[in-house]
Every structure is written in C-alpha cells, then in structure tokens.
Amino acid sequence: MTITCNVSPASFLVSEGEIHAAIHRHSSLIAAVQRGEAQYSGSLGWLDVKTQTIEELVRVAKHVQSVAEVMIVIGIGGSNRGAVAAIEVLKRTSTSPTTLYFAGDTLSPTRLADALEVLKTKSVVLNVIAKDFNTVEPGITFRMLRSAMQAKYGCAYAERIIVTGSEGSGQLHELAQKHGYTYLPFPSDIGGRFSVLSPVGLFPLAVAGVDIQNLLDGAYTMQQRIRTGQDENNPAILYAVLRSLMRKKGIILESLVTFEPDLQHFTRWWIQLFAETEGKTDQVLFPIGFSYSEDLHAVGQYVQQGPRILMETFLDLHYNLDNLHIEASKEVVDGFAYLDDKPFSLLNKTVYQAALQAHAHDGVPCIELKSDSALDTESLGGLFYFFLFCAYLSARLLGVNPFDQEGVEQYKRNMYAELGKSGYTK
C-alpha cells in the first residue's frame, strides 16, 4: 500500500514555500522521530512491527475458536478501539466460528445486562485487556462477568479466561498466575492507543478470523516507506507538517472524512489517537470525523459556508466492489436513467470528488490521503501504522510528550475519591 498526501490549492492557506521551509527547519527532529527518540524508548515498542511475534496468539486464538461461540472482549479506549475498527472493516471476509462482543467501555447497567445475557445464552470465553488494572470500567465489568462465568462453568471457568495485561503487583499477570488464567503480554513499551498492532489488538483479531500476519505485513511496508526520506514525497512528514502549519493559521478542528461507513469505528480510533497524543496544549487541532455521504446531509452546510475554523482530511480508500452495476428501470420511470449501466462504486467515488471540489472551492482547507490499494487487511495494516507514526511526529512538532496522558488520569482520581478507594480524597 502506498499513500500520497495531496492538498487542494483552491482552499489552502499554506504555500509550498512554507511547507518546504517547515520541513527543512524541523529536519533534525524529523530524523530523530524516524529513528525513534531515545528519550521515549520506553514507549516505542510499536515503531518496528517486525518485532511482533504471532505464533502464541494464533495458537490461543484457534483454541478459543474451538470452544466458544462468542469471545467477550473487556477493555476501554486503546485496549479495544483498534480491534473494533479492524473487525468492522474486515467482517465480510471473516470465516471464524467465534463472534466478538465488546464490553467494559462504559459503566452503563444496560450494557452490562446485555453482556450478561450473551454469556447466559452462548458458549463464551472472556478476554480482559488492561495495561493498568485499576481502571474501574473494565475492572468491575470483568468482576461481574467473571462471577457469571463461575456460576455457569464451575471450576472450569478459569480455562475460559484470557487476560492481556502487565506484570506487577495487582496487575493481570498476577491474577493469571494465581487463578490459572491464560496470560498474554501487554507490552510494557507500548501505550494503549498505540497497541493495535501488538497482542492487545492482534489476539482479538486472530479470534475473529483476521489474517494478522497480513495485517502486520501491510504495516511493515508502510514502516519502510515513511521512516526514510525527509521531503514532501514522504506522505507522513507532509501530513504532520501541514497539520502543524494549519493550526498556526487559525484552524482549530480537523475532520477525518471517510466514504465507507465501515470506517466509522476506525475514525473513532483515529480521534482517540490524536486527541490523547497531542492534546496537552491549546495549540492543537481538535480531531473529529465525518462519514459522507450521510454527514453531507447533516453538517455539510456548516462545512460549506460556516466559520473557517475547520480543515478536512479526505481518506480516499474504498472497497473493491466494481461488480455491482445499476440496471435500467424498465417498468418504473424514476428519474435516474442517467445512471443506467454505471458501476455503483462510481457513485461513491463521484460524491468524494464532488464534496472535495465544493468544499475546497469555498475555501475549506482540504488534504487528500490517497491510497493505491483497495480497503483490505494489508492496506488497513498500512493505514494503522501511517497514523501511529503521524501522531508521534505531530506531537513532537507541537513540542509535547506523545505518550503521557495526565489529563485522563484526573477524572480517574476524582472517581476513586468519590467511590471511597483507599488513598484518594475528595
């Protein structure tokens, strides 16, 4: 998979000279990010995907497929968004006998009741994922579902528990050793939002029937492409630099625009990745997402003629479904005869160009990320890696630590205090 990063001249606030100057000005930093900065070595386990091994993940996944109709994945944020995104995109090619059900990302009693009903009526395996097994949402969901597993399966319940977590006192590795659960490592040098290409994301995907080696191959191809070369021909560098320059021009929102509804969960993954990685300064873009055509009929008017605070990043990546053609309507005259005999996929590609041209013409800053591949397992792996690297580089251009998230921890401390956890005060 190759991605090119293009800009729409009719809409752009940044000149080629500014882009070239910014890349030259930050060349040392860019080179350091491409190598992997020593100061962040404890968070860069994702940077080289060739270090990932999958044999144990595949073995355990095959066992799950042999015993379970459903695997309930318990996690929140980076522990599950990547897997949810990939499964939604690749669901049509899955041949797995095991369906994935996601829980632990909310404290809503209704969602818990839904998960308990699944456990009651299906043959189930639990996969709980937590790098820090202190977060209430997945932790208490695991307790509730674990109790139901014990009631249903008796002493054999432990054989149906797989934990993906860290080592250390009170963490999932300790629980696995004590109670006989299957343990998979949550790499210590990978944070949650960067974990989709680690056991955190790869194991659920393997259970869902995804060819995880193919996913990693796509990521590695992208890694080789964007970790070398420091000019406008490197799409990751160009994209990161453009985002940095656009914020300085007064743009405060960036929308990732997709044209395949199956990418909506991918957009949610992208939003978390950039919001948590960069959101430590008031000079950062706020990431949002639009799914066109639908959102053209919801927010299109605002984008077209509203305040110029928004830029759009159009993702030109589609499924390969050119075999669907529009047949002529012989009995009913419906006014759409001008579409007779056209491939249906042409309509989606046409609305892409029409929206891009209309928004750019009216002065909306637009970036195009164009792929030379169809949307499949390999291209999705490349797309994951592309944005992981871009988020790292973009944060460094902002001058912030890409890998901490102190702001997220504050709500947790408040909640612990309200609920009476030892060591926390209101």
Nearest by Cα to 14 from 305, 195, 242, 187: 242
318 is catalytic: no
- Which residue in 178, 297, 330, 426 is the catalytic one? 297
**70-74/124-130 β-pairing:** parallel
Q: What is the DSSP letter of 325?
A: B
Burial of 166 from C-beta contacts in 10 A (0-12 / 13-18 / 19+): middle
The type of residue at 346 is L
Total residues belonging to the chain:
426
Residues 100 and 80: their CA atoms lie apart, in Å, by 11
Q: How far is CA 144 from CA 71, 103, 132, 169, 372, in A?
A: 15, 11, 18, 22, 46
Q: Where are the alpha helices (DSSP H) in 136-229?
A: 136-153, 172-179, 199-207, 212-226
- Which residue in 91, 122, 370, 412 is the catalytic one? 412
70-74 sheet: strands from edge to edge: 99-103, 70-74, 124-130, 161-165, 182-185
361 is catalytic: no
276 is catalytic: yes
Handedness of CA 54, 58, 59, 60 (dihedral sign): positive
- Which residue in 131, 254, 265, 276 is the catalytic one? 276
Asked if residue 237 lies in contact with residue 33, where contact means CB atoms within 8 angstroms, the answer is no
Q: What is the DSSP letter of 10?
A: T
Q: What is the DSSP letter of 29?
A: H
Asked if residue 52 lies in contact with residue 255, where contact means CB atoms within 8 angstroms, the answer is no
Residues 347 and 61: their CA atoms lie apart, in Å, by 39
**Residues with catalytic annotation?**
276, 297, 412
